[in-house]
Amino acid sequence: MSENKQHDAQKSYLEETGGRKGIFKWILSTDHKRIGLLYLYSIMSWFFIGVTLGVLMKLELIAPGITIMGAQSYNATFTVHGVIMIFLIVIPGLPAVFGNFMLPIQIGAKDVAFPKLNLLSWYIYIAGSILVVSSLFAGGGPPDTGWTFYAPYSFKTGTNMLPAVLGAFVLGFSSILTGLNFLVTIHRLRAPGMTWLKMPVFPWTLYGTAWIQLLATPIVGITLLMVIGERIFNIGFFDPAKGGDPILYQHLFWIYSHPAVYIMILPAMGAISEIIPTFARKTIFGYRAIIVSTLAIAFVGYFVWGHHMFTSGMSGTALFTFSILTFIVAIPSAIKVFNWVSTMHQGSISADVPFLWAASFIFVFMIGGLTGLILGALAVNVHVHDTAFVVGHFHFIVFGGTGFAFFGALHYWFPKIYGRMYDRAWAKTGWIIFFIGFITLYGPMFYLGIRGMPRRYFDYLPDYHGPNIISSLGALVMVTGFVIIVINLFKSARSGEKAEMNPWGGTNLEWRIPSPPPLENFDEIPTIDKATYKYD
């Protein structure tokens, strides 16, 4: 590989093909930027499937009784929707796309530590996602257990559980390997002078995320393996008829899946922490506090899994511990919010597209987080657990948090990635429609939940009709916004006007190299001498 060092410094990574043709210049490339884009395209494709399933559910829920599908289809729809969204989209989401693309650049490296492993992770991701999606079509019908695969139902049902579970298991490996790669990259490949405390926030959040990926994913791996063993060999780990304990399954599942929600949100917070200083032309407020809170979330987030099981009959001691820790883990998130808002104070703010996404992120994230507090309180949780309230909470924080940050990051780094700028007026139009649709879609769910409408109900009592109509209409508004956004980006990537090197006036390393970046990012590894986010 070292022989073709003699490349033209001006050639961008998009032009540099390594002598490969057609699709091979993508699927055989070990360039972290191309791999980032591979992830972007694959994630976007699954996202279309996922959201379409979501919209189908909303159409079903527009009126009581069978509207467009029956119980079995609905159950399968929310299961596959949940599995796709969680395991295929928001968990890999920001780390795999923007982490891959930006991490090496932001820390001044030419690539990640193990480029081949990086490409392998993508292949594993594709293999896993194909398994998951194949469960839709093959054999006994799509799985119908919910994305949580709760035992004992998950090994009694006759539907395609195995491919879905196996797919989730395989995806876990992809996640682990990406995390491992990033950790070694951050530990070993920072440019000279880039000390830990000069590193931008986005790499820091990736660092925290990577640890969670590394340490939590194996637990769900082994749990899913046990479910597979259960289905094939009838071992009886979680089968009450053989003495197994279904609650233990829930413990193991959430030991992973709670930290997983922080896998989703940490890089999102990182992206927001990049966007806000850039558009406020101001050093990020409380850099150290943001770093410390990132690590605190990663660490404490490991010990609160039980808040998903408050009504499962755990001991009072466990409930006490989990509830109090749940409240404590909210503090670092609060700290971040305060620091972001303070960064805006006395800044010089340009409310451009990425900033609009970031500001709306803060808003919906607060709603999601604060309803999380309501869920975390024992007494209230008993009432709203497993109702539409929970569905509202996690769409606000997963879609509103991670999703908004994803779109924000996409609009922020788009000119760097493609070297072209999108149409800002259309982007703003799309954003406002999307935002309004979002609130209309998920807002009523809180009310429904408080009124007692259980989740995973394809049919409901007529009492709940009103809010459901509003919610379904919101979904349609959102679809409109989404289509505008996607078409705008899609067109601009091909034919938008050429973007400058630093269109937003950012200070981090990615803004000091050409757009799009050359194959090896830097002609010469930079030396860092001043703190990050310095505007002077």
Partner 1 sequence: MSNVHRDDIGSKLGMWLFIFTEILLFGGLFITYAVYRYLHPEAFHLASQELDVPIGTINTIILLISSATIAMSITAIQQKKKKLTLWLIASTIVLAAIFLINKYFEWGAKFEHGIFPGSEYLDSLGYGDVLFFGLYFFMTGLHAFHIIIGMAVLGFMFYYVKIDRLTFDNFQLLENGGLYWHLVDLIWIFLFPLFYLIA
Partner 2 sequence: MYSINPENASNFVAGVDLAFFIILGVSIFFLVAITAAMIIFIRKYNREKHPEAIQNEGSTKLEIIWTVIPLLIVLVMFYFGWMGWKPMKTPPEDAMRVKAIARMWNFKFEYENGKLTDSLYVPLNQPVILDLVALDVLHSLYIPAFRVKEDMVPGNIKQMWFIPGQVGSYDLFCTEYCGLEHSYMYTGVHVMHEDEFDEWLKDTTAVAPVVAEDASPADRGFQVLVKNGCNACHSSDGSKLVGPSYLGNWGNMRKVTAGGEKTEVLFDKEYIRKSIYDPNAEIADGFNKGLMLSYEGLVSEEEIELIIEYIRSLNE
Partner 3 sequence: MAEEKHHITSYKTYLLVLVALIIFTLLSVTITQIELSRWATVAALLIAGIKSTFVLLVFMHLKFDLRIFRVMVGLIISLLVVVIFITMLDFLFR
Q: Which of residues 175-214 bind partner 3 (CB under 8 A)?
A: 188
Cα 65–68–69 angle (5° rounding)? 80
Nearest approach, Cβ of 451 to partner 3 (angstroms)?
31
* Closer Cβ to partner 2, 257 or 339, answer by number: 339
Q: Are 178 and 118 in contact (CB under 8 A)?
A: yes
Binding of residue 437 to partner 1 (CB under 8 A):
no
Q: Give the footprint of Cu ion on this chain (CB under 5 A).
A: 258
- Residue 316 interacts with partner 3 (CB under 8 A)? yes
Torsion-angle region of residue 516: left (phi > 0), alpha (psi -120 to 50) or beta? Answer: beta
Count of CB atoms situated within 10 Å of the CB of 463? 12
- Taking the complex as a whole, how short is the minimal distance between the CB of residue 455 and partner 2, in angstroms? 8
Measured from the CB of residue 252, what is the shortest distance to partner 2 in angstroms?
Answer: 15
- Please tell me whether residue 502 binds partner 3 under the rule CB under 8 A: no
- What is the nearest approach in angstroms of ligand HEA to the Cβ of residue 353? 17
How many residues comprise the chain? 536
In the bound complex, what is the minimum distance in angstroms from residue 334's beta carbon to Cu ion?
A: 17
Choice between 36 and 376, CB closer to partner 3: 376
Q: Which H or E run includes 484?
A: helix 465-495
Residue 261 binds ligand HEA, judged by CB under 6 A: yes
Q: Which residues contact 527 (CB under 8 A, 6 or more apart)?
A: 191, 192, 193
Position 251 contacts partner 3 (CB under 8 A): yes
DSSP designation for 111? S
Q: Which of 2, 6, 10, 315 forms a contact with partner 3 (CB under 8 A)? A: 315
Helix residue spans in 496-531 (DSSP H): none
Q: Which does 520 bind (CB under 5 to 8 A by kind): partner 1, ligand HEA, partner 2, none?
A: partner 1
- Asked if residues 499 and 415 have their Cβ atoms less than 8 Å apart, the reply is yes
Of 486, 493, 501, 525, the one binding ligand HEA by CB under 6 A: 486
> Does 147 engage in binding with ligand HEA (CB under 6 A)?
yes
**Within 13 Å, how many C-alpha atoms sit on residue 346's CB side?**
4
What are the structure tokens assigned to 532, written together?
């990050």
Closest C-alpha among 152, 145, 157, 78 to residue 388: 78
The one-letter amino acid at 178? T
Enter the tokens of residue 421: 């700028």
Q: Does 303 bind partner 3 (CB under 8 A)?
A: yes
User: Tokens standing for 6?
Assistant: 């003699």
Chain center to CA of 300: 19
Kindly state the smallest distance separating residue 249's Cβ from ligand HEA, in Å: 14
> Of 111 and 144, which CB lies nearer to partner 1 in the complex structure?
111
C-alpha 258 chain-centroid distance: 13
Q: Which of 14, 59, 214, 349 binds partner 1 (CB under 8 A)?
A: 214
- The CA–CA distances, whole Å, from 259 to 220, 262, 399 equal 11, 5, 17
| Residues numbered 86-115 forming contacts with partner 2, rule: CB under 8 A | none
Site for partner 2 in 271-330 (CB under 8 A): 280-283, 285-289, 311-313, 316, 319-320, 323-324, 327-328, 330
Q: Which helix (H) or strand (E) holds 498?
A: strand 497-498
Instruction: Extract the tokens encoding 65.
Output: 């009784």
Q: Binding to partner 2 by residue 373, rule CB under 8 A?
A: yes
Which C-beta is closer to partner 3: that of 115 or that of 415?
A: 115
A 10 A CB-CB count for 192 gives: 11
Looking at residues 19 to 58 of the shown chain, list those that interact with partner 1 (rule: CB under 8 A).
30-31
Please give the residue ranges that form the binding site for partner 1 (CB under 8 A). Answer: 1-2, 5, 30-31, 110-111, 113-115, 176, 179-181, 183-184, 187-189, 214-219, 221-223, 225-226, 229, 233-237, 242-245, 248, 251-252, 255, 520
Please give the residue ranges that form the binding site for partner 3 (CB under 8 A). Answer: 188, 215, 247, 251, 255, 302-303, 306, 313-318, 321
